[in-house]
Amino acid sequence: MLVAGSTLGPYKIIAPIGSGGMGEVYRARDTRLSRDVALKVIHAEVAREPERIKRFEQEARAAGALSHPNICAIYDLGTFEGSPFVVMELLEGESLRAKLEAGPVPVRKALDYIAQAARGLAVAHEKGIVHRDLKPENLFVTKDGRLKVLDFGLAKRDVAAGDGSETSSPTAARPTEPGAVLGTVGYMSPEQVRGQAADARSDLFSLGTVLYEMLSGQRAFARETSAETMTAILREEPPDLATTVEGLPPSLARIVGHCLEKRPEERFQSARDLAFDLSSLSDSQVRHERVAETTPKRRFRPHAITAALVLLGALLGLAGGRLSKGAGAPSTAKATTASFVQLTDQPGVEQDPSLSPDGKSVVYAAQPGGNLDVFLLRVGGRNPQNLTADSPADDHQPAFSPDGERIAFRS
């Protein structure tokens, strides 16, 4: 334990912040740049294991190469009396775990926090760094509302030796050995539970468990024992948010479910995709979906679409007949020229388009890979939203309800 006033090179210790399995964390002053930093000193007994220290230093340097507003910055790496230390950005605020202790997080806040985390993750993943221990303890909310991902890369070194001061969840003992279990029980992906290699999609599963907890106030796979929790991660689905959280937008429940797919290839394939989908749920969309789901409405029957289309065809035929009858008479109407604009460019099949009543959106069926899904696209937009990604069957022939608030389709 270092005392206030002691120095480690240019860093002057001010006060202890906390202690964990790997070492102690202090508030320190960088005398060169006149700024306060967080300084983590590794325990002496840990420092006696050369391989662990080598991995720690390699991964700390890799994490130090990351520069993003949603990642806690690493400034320096050094050694004190044979024990390595790392100098990090000093954050003012509280961990996400502290916020969760007060209950579920409001929907808009949850969307904002996880979108920020996903943007930070995207930068790390693009540099080949996978966190592998995402949990509320490693997500920090600053006083100005910015979310920071902590301990990037350090979780790879030895999860069991990570700073576990804020959680009692068991972690693995030797994460770098083949077949070892990596991560914190309750937030691990299925592949981590199996001891398999974890890639970027594993982080997205863990982030999905955090988002689930933020919205529901309950852990997605919490069981009485660690073994039961890991079994639940592998074999069970958490309670459906759409039915357990009153007024939750269905599109948000689908996003969480997409994160929590058991198979990595069925999840979001990148953190940027997740961040985009979360950000696209604007305040107005969330309010609109809540009203649409909670306000009683007259049931919209798919066969009514057919009747409406038949009636429309009859009216057009009648109008065409009238125009034909008057074809020989001189016309004073101004001729118009139709123009065509391509709306979609997805690979594979695209079919069954239907324009919304207000003319601002189009819904259609597409098969970019696998089965047909229903997609919604804003006219002029470039990012269609898959509305039926969780459906294992072919979904096609979508159509808007007359008020534009529902979409019917065949499956």
CB burial readout 312-340, b (16+ within 10 A) else e: eeeeeeeeeeeeeeeeeeeeeeeeeeeee
What are the backbone angles phi and psi of residue 343, rounded to the nearest 5°? -100, -30
Residue 389's alpha-carbon distances to 55, 112, 266, 320, 369, in angstroms, are 40, 23, 9, 41, 11
Residue found under tokens 């470039």:
382
- Contact, 93 vs 142, CB < 8 A? yes
Contact between 72 and 150 (Cβ < 8 Å) = yes
Closest to 151 measured CA to CA, from 235, 72, 236, 211: 72
Six-digit token string for 4: 């206030």
Check residue 305 and give its pLDDT: 40
- How far apart (Å, rounded) are the C-alpha atoms in residues 76 and 320? 78
Taking the domain 7-89, which CATH number applies?
3.30.200.20
pLDDT at residue 297 in the model = 45
3-state secondary structure of 110: helix
Q: How far is CA 276 from CA 171, 204, 210, 361, 385, in A?
A: 31, 13, 18, 19, 10
User: Along the chain (411 residues), what's the average pLDDT of each consecutive run of 10 residues?
Assistant: 91 90 87 95 79 76 87 90 89 94 91 96 92 93 95 47 35 38 80 92 97 95 94 95 88 94 96 93 56 48 40 42 46 58 80 90 86 88 84 88 88 91
The CATH fold of domain 93-293? Transferase(Phosphotransferase); domain 1 (1.10.510)
Q: Report pTM.
A: 0.64
Angle, CA of 148, 285 and 341, to the nearest 5° = 110
Give catalytic residues, as residue numbers. 133
Q: How far apart are CA 175 and CA 182, in angstroms?
A: 5
Q: Which amino acid is at 20?
A: G
Spatial strand order of the sheet with 139-142 comes to: 93-95, 139-142, 147-149
Domain ranges for the chain: 7-89, 93-293, 346-411
Query: Can you name the residues that pair with 367 across neighbouring β-strands?
Result: 349
Burial-class residue 32 by CB neighbours within 10 Å (0-12, 13-18, 19+).
exposed
Predicted local distance difference test score (pLDDT) of residue 227: 94
